Amino acid sequence: MAWEESVTEVAAWLDGFGLIGLGILTFTEAIIQPIPPDILTLPMYLAADSTFRIFLIWLVATVTSVSGACIGYYIGKKAGRGILDKVSKGGAVEKIEVLVDRYGVFGIFIAAISPIPYKVFAWVAGMGEMDLRLFVTASVIGRGLRFGIQAVAIGLYGESILTWLTPFNFLLLGVFGALLLIPANRWWQNLSHSVSDAE
Indicate the average pLDDT of the chain: 76
What's the rounded Cα separation, in Å, for the pair 44 and 46? 5
Cα–Cα distances (Å) from 20 to 14, 44, 61, in that order, read 8, 12, 10
Q: What is the mean pLDDT of residues 187-194?
A: 52
Q: Residues 91-150: pLDDT tens digits?
A: 556 666 776 677 777 777 777 776 667 888 888 888 878 888 888 988 898 889 889 888
Distance CA 186, CA 188 (A): 5
Q: Tell whether the torsion through CA atoms of 34, 40, 41 and 46 is positive or negative.
A: positive
79-93 pLDDT per residue, tens: 766 666 665 554 556
CB-CB contact of 119 with 75 (8 Å): no
Domain definitions of the chain by residue range: 2-158, 165-199
Give the pLDDT score at 156.
65
